Amino acid sequence: MSLNFPDLNLYHLKFNLMRLDFYIQTTSFFRIPLLFFCCPKVISLSPTAKVKLPLRWITKNHYRSMYFGALCIGAELVVALPLLNELFINKRKFNFIFKDFKADFIKRAEDHVIFEFEDVKEILALLAECELTQTRLHRRFKGKAYSEKSPDLVFMVFEITISVKPLGPG
C-alpha cells in the first residue's frame, strides 16, 4: 500500500509567501502607512515577483482609476520584494533605497493591478555582489503593471534604480 503525500515543497513556498505578506503588512503599518492602506497582496516570488494592488476607494482617484501614486507604490514594492524576502525570511543584513524612478503610464488603471518584476535572479546577484565586495552598489531594473482580468492590458511600464548596501557583521 502506498501513501500519497501532497507536494510539501509547494506548501513550504506558499507558507513563505504568506509569511512575507504578513511581514510586509505589519512593517508597513508602522513604517510606511501609505503602503499599508493600499493593501498589497504578494502573489509570487519566483521565477517572477508579482504583487496585486486592489482598486479600492483609497487607491481610486476621481476618474475611478488608480492614483499614479498608488501605481508607484506597487512598482516599488514588486522590485523590493526579493530583497524583502532576504531581509525578513532569510535574515540577511543589508539596507536598500530607491535612487530614481521612471514610469510610462500607458492606460488608466480601472481594474485591480498586477505588478510584475522578472529580474529576481539579477537583484539577488546584486545583493550577493554587494555583500562580497562590502560596498554600496546600484542597478536599474524594469517591470510592468497590468490588469488582473486581462494580462494583455498593460497600464504602466517602469524602471527603478535600487541601491543596496551591506551591513557589517554583528
| Residue range 103-116: mean pLDDT, rounded | 96
Contacting residues for 14 by C-beta, under 8 A, at least 6 apart: none
Letter for the amino acid at 83?
L
CA angle 97, 110, 46 (to 5 degrees): 45
Contact present, 51 and 113 (Cβ < 8 Å): no
Domains belonging to the chain, first-starting first, are 8-166 (3.10.129.10)
pLDDT in tens, 24-79: 999 999 999 999 999 999 999 989 999 999 999 999 999 999 999 999 999 999 99
Percentage of the chain modeled with pLDDT above 70: 92
CA angle 113, 102, 131 (to 5 degrees): 95
Q: Is the pLDDT of residue 130 over 80?
A: yes
Q: Is the pLDDT of residue 123 over 50?
A: yes
Order of strands, sheet of 41-44, starting from the edge strand that comes earlier in the sequence? 41-44, 49-53, 113-117, 137-147, 154-166, 94-105
Burial readout 82-100 (b: 16 or more C-beta within 10 A, e: otherwise) = bbbbbbbeeeeeeebeeee
Contacting residues for 136 by C-beta, under 8 A, at least 6 apart: 130, 163, 164, 165
Q: What is the pLDDT of residue 17?
A: 86
Q: What is the pLDDT of residue 15?
A: 82
